[in-house]
Each structure stands twice: as C-alpha cells, then as structure tokens.
Amino acid sequence: MIDILLSRLQKVRPAGNNRWTACCPAHDDKTPSLTVTQSRDKVLIHCFGGCLPDEVIAATGLSWDDMFEDEFQAANQRAVSSRKNLPPVDPLRVDENILLIAREALSKGDSLSVEDQARAELAYERVKGARNA
C-alpha cells in the first residue's frame, strides 16, 4: 500500500530500511523535506517543513483508507494523525477529573478497582501538592 503513496511523490529516494525521503506535496518543496517510514502496520509521515500528515496525504489525492487494506488500521492512523491537532493537556486538570470520577463512582456505591484507587490516590496527592505550592 505504501507503493501507492510513493508513486505520487516527487524525488523519492531510499533513506534506510523501509524509509524514504521525498518532496512534500503539501507545500512548495524544492528539496526533499518529507520522510515516509513503513513500520509494521503503520505509515509514519513527517514533513520537516511543518505540514501535517493529513495535509500530505490529501495533497497526493489519497486518504488514510487508501493507505491500508484493513479498515481498522486506517481508522487508527486517522486518529493518531489527528491527535497532533489537539491542544496540550493540563495534567492538573486530568488529575482533578480523575478525582471527580472516583468521587462520583463512590457516591453511587460503586467500588474502585485496586488500580483505580491507586490512580485516585496519586491524583489526590498531585492536586494537593499543586494547591500548596
């Protein structure tokens, strides 16, 4: 499947085992700034000019579905690629949410697994430490 992508790129050159460089089709690229790597069930795309993998794929006229025979792999790659567009996560807010979820579960009479209890205790210590700082 990676052959389809490589056939739509310019100045493709091998750059190692299952790795190639090429001109990025998503921006006016004169010298190769794109790396494409096939790693087991993944296709890794990195443009050193700053283009996102989705932009590179779209500029070739392909979609993630074209890159994989397996529908699940295509959906997974779309999800992985889109994560780069998300804002950064605030760890303190994550810990506060863990505490809210744990408190809600306990108030309903549910019990926490050992792992969930340990994670809630860690979240509590982090939130307490941040508030005392």
Residue 79, pLDDT above cutoff 80: no
- For the stretch 35-54, what's the b/e string if a residue is b when 16 or more beta carbons lie within 10 angstroms of its beta carbon? bbbbeeeebebebeeebbbb
Q: Give the pLDDT confidence of 81-113 residue by residue, as tens digits.
A: 665 555 677 889 999 999 999 999 999 999 999
CATH of region 2-85, choose from 2.40.160, 3.30.300, 3.90.580, 3.40.1130: 3.90.580
């697994």: which residue's tokens? 113
Give the pLDDT band (50/70/90) at residue 64. Answer: confident
Domain boundaries, the chain: 2-85, 91-132
The helix (H) or strand (E) run that includes residue 108 is: none
- What's this model's pTM, rounded to 2 decimal places? 0.54
Residue 76, pLDDT above cutoff 90: no
- The closest alpha carbon to 62, from 116, 112, 5, 107, belongs to 5
